Every structure is written in structure tokens, then in C-alpha cells.
Chain A
Amino acid sequence: MIEWAAPPRRPLLRQPAALAGLTWLALVILAALLGPSLAPGGPMEADPTRSLLPPGPGGLLGTDLLGRDLLVRLLWGARWTLEMGVLGLATAVGLGLPVGLAAGSLGGRTDAILMRLMDGLLAFPGLLLAMAMVAVLGTGLTPVAVAVGLAAVPPYARVARSVTREVRAQPYVEAARAIGATRLRIALRHILPNAAPSLIAFAATQLGWVLLNGAALNFLGLGVPPGTPEWGAMLAEGRAYLRDAPWVSTFPGLALTLTVLAANLVGDGLQEALGV
């Protein structure tokens, strides 16, 4: 987490950048949910007579080599992005939070063992770790999302642990312990709610990481099968005719960049709003 010199705390909705990020994320989710009804033809509907049409009237964002409409494919692609984000983040938080919470609130040997395990994993560069997991899990969107999520577990667990330790040192936790609350109750009722702001803010930053690297694996051809309207894969497909039809790669890349940027802006905004 980056320490800013005396940041003024502003609620999330008062920050223009974070608000813009939230709006864009909402649009992506909307596109993922409504894509099929907005574009009933589907992302695979090809029309060879309309191959590589430039953006303009008729096809708003142009077409690809097989004459498939890029706007339609982008809208459908939002579903893969959403799935990647949800699944990846669920993996990262679902494993990282219990590990960090247990290490931070139990301390002692549990802490030592769990954190040494995380140190070992942290020695691997994140994307390389995700790639190794794909080698073991196999290709496809779900393995890629899980692999990227798993690679994000160690940093999340580490942040969760340090936040937990901070909260554990507070007098009200000591008071709860003094009246005989169990360790599980202290962890879930006292530590977790008070650690939540930091944990949520860090999760938002992790979302950007998950989307960026998940799409990177798809770009490298390790994820979704060829032809899938996933943004990273679409970008890779368009490379072959970059010179003649740059829009085929450019628009998926723009959509992806805006989504990662939105996640990062929301993460920054949350940190500022929650004062963490």
C-alpha cells in the first residue's frame, strides 16, 4: 500500500476519478449481462463479404477478418472479463483472507508456517507463477482465472496478516479476550469487521492485477480457445493484420485498458475514502 503524505479523506462518490472508474465497471457488467440481448446474432456470426471493414456507419467499430462485428464481440467479451474478475478475485480473497486472518490472529507457530509458505510463493514473479499453474491445471478460461487468482493469494494473505495484527493490538480486542471470547469469535466478530476497509481497498487493486494478467495469459494463447471473443485473445488475433486493419486489435486493447484503469482508480479511491 502506498503511503501518501497526509491525504485528505474524501468519500468515494466525491472523487471524480473513482466515480469515472465505477461508472465504467458498471458499464462492463451491464454489457456482460445484456450483451446477448443487445446483439442477438452472437459473437461468432461471420459474413465473409464484410471482411475487415473499417469503423464507421454500418459496423460501428468495424469487422474482423471473418466479417464478424467487433462491437458485438466486444460486448460479448465483457462476460469473459467479468468471469475472470469474479473467479480470480474470489480465489485470491477466498484463500488469502483465511490464511492471513489465521496467521495474524493466532500468531506463533501457525503464523510462522503459513507466512514462510507465502514467502516461498512470493519468490516467484506473479505472472510466471500463474503461467506455471496453467501448465499444471491446463488451458481454458477457468484454469487461467484460478491460476491468476492463486498467484494473487500470497500478497493478499500478507496484507491481510499485517492488517489483522494491527487490529489485534487494539484495546477492544484485548477486552474481548479478557472476558473470555474464543479465538474464532475474536477473529470473526472483532478483527474482521475492523480490518474490512483495508481488505476491501486492497482487493480492488488486486482486481486490476487479475484482469491484466488473466488477459495476458489469454493473449499468449494459454487460455480461451482460438476465436473466443475474450479481449486478450481478440487482441492477439488482430496482430496478424495490424497493418491493414489496426482496429481489430486496438479496440479490445482499449476496452481492457479502460477496465484495468477503472479497477485501479476505484482501488485508489477506496484507499483515500477509507483512510487506509
Chain B
Amino acid sequence: MGVGYVGRRLLSAVFVLWLAASLAFFALKLTPGDPAEALLAASGATPEEVAERRAQLGLDDPLWLQYVRYLTDLARGDLGQSWLHGRPVGRMVLEQLGPTVELAVAATGVGMALGIGLGTLAAVRRRTWVDTAATAVAVVGLSTPTYWSGLLAILFFSLHLRWFPATGEGGLRHLVLPAAVLGFALAGSIARLVRARVAEVLGSPFVLAARARGLPGRHVLFVHVLKAAAGPALAVTALQFGFLLGGAVVTETVFARRGLGRLAVEAILWRDLPVVRGVVLVGALAYVGVNLLADLLHAWLDPRLREGAS
């Protein structure tokens, strides 16, 4: 892979992150409410103490200076201070990151396996009842809120069958239900794209050529067709990663798991805006990072993308 492509792609990711961070900065600046007052509200501070804190936090400085300081702090991983707890936001986010990442990774695995399987099945058996059924499962997965399918899963697999614990985290047994529920929701969009792509590849000349050479159908499907469909499947999974992070937040609540979801919901209810901003920024960083990785991997799989890519 050429250094040019990697460099360009990396630069554009950094640019988008800078845009996102700037939007978050100005959005918080435009929101009414004085951070110094919010920080000291619980302790019943005097106006003098608030003024002192304002100066300490640099809130009296010109806006551009605050902005530059914010960006340099961000670059060092400093996400500011929680108004409610007075603790560094970065540390609070880091503490909750583990369970969310665990859920996101497991759900991605379930979603890709299910999505690629369903999509391939539908494409190979196109215009039969198998295709109809697989397509129907995909659109139902796409439309079912995880906060409903999660409750149904708890109802059947935890309360009735007692196979898995209903709530909490820790260990594989706690992960199965949330990952399956979130993965099912993710599988819908992957399956639809894989179906379209596999159907397209199945009709392409190189597949015909492979068949003409007398290669068995199974070999053609697994080696040629799925390899060609892997890139787009990867790209759509990366694009859906944003959906996955949002879904993880909701799924965590359903299964009463620790994680970024609980942190974000509590911060919103208490209007602890620096924490909200921290969670959202970490979400953006993860989303942009995953898409960067997927693009590089996609380009490695498909050389055409490297040349003349914009």
C-alpha cells in the first residue's frame, strides 16, 4: 500500500476529529450556565470564590485562548473536569470504557457472522423462499429496538430457561445475551449489503471464468466470491460502528451493565456537560478510528481503491 494513500487518509481523519472537537467546544460555550458556578454549586460557594475559580479555570481569558488551551489539553488526553464530581473526565471515561468495548467487539463478531451468513445465503438462493426469508430477517433485525429484543431475551433465556444471567457484567455468560441482541440489530444492514455485493460478484466474468475452469461451486463461492465481498462488508461494518456505540449505550441499560451508557445517561440527567462532551468525543474518536482502519484494510484487500482514491 502506498504511503501516499495512508498519509492522505490519516490526515483527513485528523481533520475530521479536529472539526468534531471544535464543534463540541463551541456547542458547550454557547450553552447557558457558568462552569465555575456549576462546579461549586453543591458547596454553596460565595461569589468571590466563584470569581476566583473562574480565573483559575481560565474562563476570563479571551475565547481564542480558551480554544487553543482546550485543543492542547485534548491532544494530551485531558478532557476537562466533571461539574458534578470535580474529577477528571478522562479518568471517568476510561473507567467505564472496558465493559462497553467488550460488548461492542462481541456484538460486531455476532453481527458480522450473522450478517455475512444471511446475506450470502440470500444471494446464492436468489428469488427463492430462502432469499425472501433471509431478507425478512434482515429488515426485522434492522427495525427491532435492542431495548425490546433485549427484554424478550431476558424473558426467555434468563427468566424461563435460566440459561444466562439477566443482568450485570463479568465473564462470558453475562456477555452472551447483550452481544447477541446488539449483534442481531447490526446483522440487518450487513446482510443487505452482502446480499447485493455477492449477487453482483456471482454474475461477474471472473466467477464465470472460475466456473468454466471446472472449479467446484463451493470453492468458487468461498474463495472468489466471499473474498470480493469481504471489503464492502468490512466497510459497512465500520460505518455501522457509530450505530453500534449508540446501541451499546442502550443495551447496557437494558442489561444493567456498567459502561459508557450509564455514565452518559447520568451525566445528561445532571447536566454534567463536560462528562457528556467527554463521552461523545471518545465516541467520535472510536468511530473515526475504526473507519480509518477499515478503509486501510479495504484498500489492502482491493488495490483499485488505492489508485485515484480521493
Task: Mark A residues whose CB is within 8 Å of B.
Answer: 2-5, 116-117, 119-129, 131-132, 134-136, 139, 208, 212-213, 215-216, 219-222, 232, 235-236, 239, 242-243, 246, 249-250, 253-254, 256-257, 260-261, 263-265, 268
Contacts and interface: CB of A to CB of B under 8 A. Distances in A.
> Which of A116, A117, A131 is packed against the most chain B CB atoms within 10 Å?
A131
A221 B268 CA distance: 10
B139 A268 contact: yes
Given A123-B20, A123-B284, A135-B267, A128 B143 contact: no
B287 interface: yes
Contacts of A221: 265, 269
Contacts of B242: 124-126, 128
A56 B231 CA distance: 51
Nearest to B256: A239
Interface in B146-183: 147-148, 151-152, 154-155, 159
Given A128-B249, A253-B147, A5 B203 contact: yes
B27 A136 contact: yes
10 contacts: A5-B200, A116-B19, A123-B288, A125-B246, A135-B268, A219-B250, A219-B253, A220-B250, A249-B148, A263-B143
A126 B192 contact: no
Given A132-B280, A135-B276, A253-B151, A125 B145 contact: no
B253 A220 contact: yes
B257 interface: no
Given A116-B19, A124-B284, A128-B280, A239 B250 contact: no
A136 B288 contact: no
A129 B247 contact: no
A129 B280 contact: yes
B16 A222 contact: no
A123 B196 contact: no
A134 B140 CA distance: 28
A243 B276 CA distance: 33
> Which of A125, A216, A263, A265 is packed against the most chain B CB atoms within 10 Å?
A125
Contacts of B254: 239
Contacts of A126: 242-243, 246
A2 B196 contact: yes
Contacts of B246: 125-128, 213, 216
A270 B169 CA distance: 42
Given A123-B284, A124-B283, A242-B159, A260 B143 contact: yes
A128 B253 contact: no
A264 to B, nearest CB: 5
Contact of A232 (B147, B269, B283): B147
